[in-house]
């Protein structure tokens, strides 16, 4: 696995046997148990901790720990405890359950992240996955718990020569999750492990500096998916020029790094069935070009390829779990730099579709990349639907902040499927309006269209620009400028790049495109 943590499931009896063994010198054992707002544990957990119950109760009273959701209590060297360190984690429920009606605890994904944070880097722990009476868990609770823990353990410190945390020297976090019947969750655990690796891959791509992750290097890393059985095709500038991709190539012509188009294809569904297509904007660094950006925070523009990173991660997850679906991923990889060869405001380029575009602002470059990438995938692969992801506009940050990705679509069913998928895994989308009045704003006096409609409704006019290249194909555009990079820290992510969109696309394929 790519993550720096190990989660394995074992039956309670095996976990108890581990707890009876002496602790390794210098490696104190951690035992984690879940409690409700009455501080009650599950029956098996209570049995394992029965000799320490009185001390734990006193410690909870002294700390005013009530078992509320998101809170925890750490108790060291509790008399009678089978571990030097006991962590009680509150589920925030208990007394609300009526009679025998068990109330499900919903966010095991976040709970896994919270638990991993308490265990800490290099920690060795046994988690008693035993819920208090009155609480029940969904069928995927354990695998979601592990997924949250895996993702919380991710760090991007490859370029740090001095590690702040000495625990990192002790190797990965090692967690044994004890439960009644581990065999029932083994397949789901395997899937979650693949998904964790996929998100970590996307996070690392977003976090990498642009002097390392050039378009050719991005393409090379994406080509490693061949090991999973994903078919990979890489188009260089000569190949794209022959196809007429002047919109995409125009963005990268000021850079010394060559542009690339990467096509990732997974054929796990019925032979001949139309695929679902994902297209990612991959501007590995966006200076703005001749319409250069202000210096402040320009370093963040290394993350302007988060859409392509999400597509790469999703294709990794789909290939690793051998999804029974046909899926195509396309990455448009360029660098937007000012140079004597760079395109200028006022230039007119012809896209692969044959439509002409007036460049009025070279910093509205991502839509140019996507225009040719969308045309290519629709023309060559005839998808049943296409979804593009892009850190496209600052305007979506103004509208939605960092809580939601912006959703634009020409198809209500596809929009609904994406929204439901996002709700299921916590990567939320908000559908934005589209209409003819907005589309008129990108009409040009000199070409078929211009690449920006001005300040007002910036994310909407950008979506309308893309819509002109999809024809009647069901299409959705996800503007992830607020979620794809510089993401807020959460229980499951402490990284600048969150890998947002990987789990969303994987869920979409699982729920709506697999048999």
Three-state secondary structure readout of 64-130 = CCCCCCCCEEEEECCCCCCCCEEEEEECCCCCCCCCCCCEECCCHHHHHHHHHHHHCCCCEEEEECC
- In the chain, helix, strand, coil percent, each to 5? 40, 20, 40
**pLDDT recorded at residue 100:** 39
Phi, then psi, of 117 in degrees rounded to 5: -65, -40
**CB neighbour class for 216 (10 Å; exposed up to 12, middle 13-18, buried from 19):** middle
d(CA 85, CA 73): 10
Query: Taking the model in full, what pTM does it have?
Result: 0.95
Q: What is the DSSP letter of 490?
A: B
Phi, then psi, of 507 in degrees rounded to 5: -65, -40
**pLDDT recorded at residue 504:** 98
293 is catalytic: yes
7: which strand partners? 175
d(CA 115, CA 83): 16
Catalytic pick among 293, 420, 428, 431: 293
For 60, the 3-state DSSP assignment is helix
Phi, then psi, of 426 in degrees rounded to 5: 85, 10
pLDDT single digits (tens) 168-216: 555 789 999 999 999 999 999 999 999 999 999 999 999 999 999 999 9
d(CA 247, CA 249): 6
Mutual orientation of helices 215-223 and 306-320 as an angle, nearest 10°? 10
d(CA 336, CA 362): 8
| Number of neighbours of residue 496 by Cβ within 10 angstroms | 16
Report the DSSP pairing between strands 85-90 and 72-76. Answer: antiparallel
pLDDT single digits (tens) 41-55: 999 999 999 999 999
Q: What does the CA dihedral 337, 343, 349, 353 come to, rounded to 10 degrees?
A: -10
Tokens of 73: 């209590």
| Closest to 105 (Cα-Cα) out of 157, 49, 144, 153 | 144
344 is catalytic: no
Q: What is the DSSP letter of 24?
A: B
In this structure, are residues 123 and 166 in contact, taking their beta carbons and an 8 Å threshold?
no
Q: What is the pLDDT along the chain (515 residues), one digit of tens a residue?
A: 567 789 999 999 999 999 999 988 878 899 999 999 999 999 999 999 999 999 999 999 999 999 999 899 999 999 999 999 999 999 987 554 444 344 556 689 999 999 999 999 889 999 999 999 877 788 899 999 999 999 999 999 989 888 665 545 557 899 999 999 999 999 999 999 999 999 999 999 999 999 999 999 999 999 999 999 999 999 999 999 999 999 999 999 999 999 999 999 999 999 999 999 999 999 999 999 999 999 999 999 999 999 999 999 999 999 999 999 999 999 999 999 999 999 999 999 999 999 999 999 999 999 999 999 999 999 999 999 999 999 999 999 999 999 999 999 999 999 999 999 999 999 999 999 999 999 999 999 999 999 999 999 999 999 999 999 999 999 999 999 999 999 889 999 999 999 999 999 999 999 999 97
Catalytic pick among 260, 265, 367, 510: 367
Tokens of 495: 């990284």
d(CA 469, CA 372): 8
Report the DSSP pairing between strands 276-286 and 326-336. Answer: parallel
In this structure, are residues 124 and 7 in contact, taking their beta carbons and an 8 Å threshold?
no
């Amino acid at each position: 696995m790519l993550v720096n943590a190990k989660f394995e499931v074992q039956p309670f009896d095996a976990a108890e046997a581990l707890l009876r063994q002496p602790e390794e010198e210098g490696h104190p054992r951690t035992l984690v148990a879940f409690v409700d707002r009455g501080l009650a544990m599950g029956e098996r957990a209570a049995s394992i901790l029965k000799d320490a119950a009185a001390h734990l109760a006193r410690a909870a009273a002294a700390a005013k720990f009530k078992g509320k959701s998101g809170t925890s209590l750490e108790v060291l060297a509790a008399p009678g405890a089978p571990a030097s360190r006991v962590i009680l984690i509150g589920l925030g429920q208990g007394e609300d359950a009526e009679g025998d009606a068990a109330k499900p605890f919903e966010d095991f994904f976040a709970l896994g992240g919270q638990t991993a944070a308490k265990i800490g880097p290099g920690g060795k722990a046994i988690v008693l996955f035993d819920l208090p009476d009155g609480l029940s868990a969904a069928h995927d609770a354990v695998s979601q718990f592990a997924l949250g823990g895996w993702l919380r353990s991710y760090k991007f410190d490859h370029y740090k020569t001095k590690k702040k945390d000495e625990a990192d020297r002790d190797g990965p976090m090692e967690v044994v999750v004890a439960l009644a019947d581990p065999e029932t969750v083994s397949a789901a655990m395997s899937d979650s492990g693949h998904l964790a690796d996929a998100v970590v891959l996307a996070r690392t791509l977003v976090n990498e500096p642009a002097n390392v992750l050039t378009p050719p290097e991005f393409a090379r890393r994406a080509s490693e998916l061949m090991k999973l059985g994903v078919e990979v095709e890489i188009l260089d500038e000569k190949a794209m020029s022959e196809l007429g991709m002047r919109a995409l190539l125009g963005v990268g012509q000021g850079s010394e790094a060559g542009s690339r188009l990467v096509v990732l294809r997974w054929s796990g569904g019925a032979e001949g069935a139309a695929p679902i297509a994902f297209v990612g904007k991959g501007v590995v660094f966006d200076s703005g070009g001749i319409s250069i950006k202000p210096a402040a925070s320009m370093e963040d523009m290394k993350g302007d390829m988060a859409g392509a990173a999400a597509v790469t991660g999703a294709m990794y997850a789909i290939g690793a779990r051998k999804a029974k679906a046909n899926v195509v991923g396309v990455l448009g990889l360029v660098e937007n730099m000012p140079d004597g060869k760079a395109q200028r405001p006022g230039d007119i380029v012809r896209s692969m579709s044959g439509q002409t575009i007036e460049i009025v602002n070279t910093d509205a470059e991502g839509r140019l990349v996507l225009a040719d990438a969308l045309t290519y995938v629709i023309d060559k692969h005839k998808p049943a639907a296409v979804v593009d992801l892009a850190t496209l506009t600052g305007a979506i940050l103004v509208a939605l902040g960092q809580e939601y990705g912006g959703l634009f679509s020409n198809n209500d069913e596809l929009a609904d499927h994406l929204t439901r998928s996002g709700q299921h895994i916590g990567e939320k989308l908000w559908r934005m309006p589209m209409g003819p009045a907005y589309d008129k704003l990108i009409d040009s006096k000199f070409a078929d269209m211009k690449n920006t409609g001005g300040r007002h409704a910036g994310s909407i006019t950008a979506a309308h620009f893309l819509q002109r290249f999809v024809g009647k194909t069901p299409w959705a555009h996800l503007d992830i400028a607020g979620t794809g990079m510089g993401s807020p820290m959460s229980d499951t992510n402490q990284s600048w790049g969150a890998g947002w969109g990987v789990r969303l696309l994987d869920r979409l394929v699982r729920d709506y495109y697999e048999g």
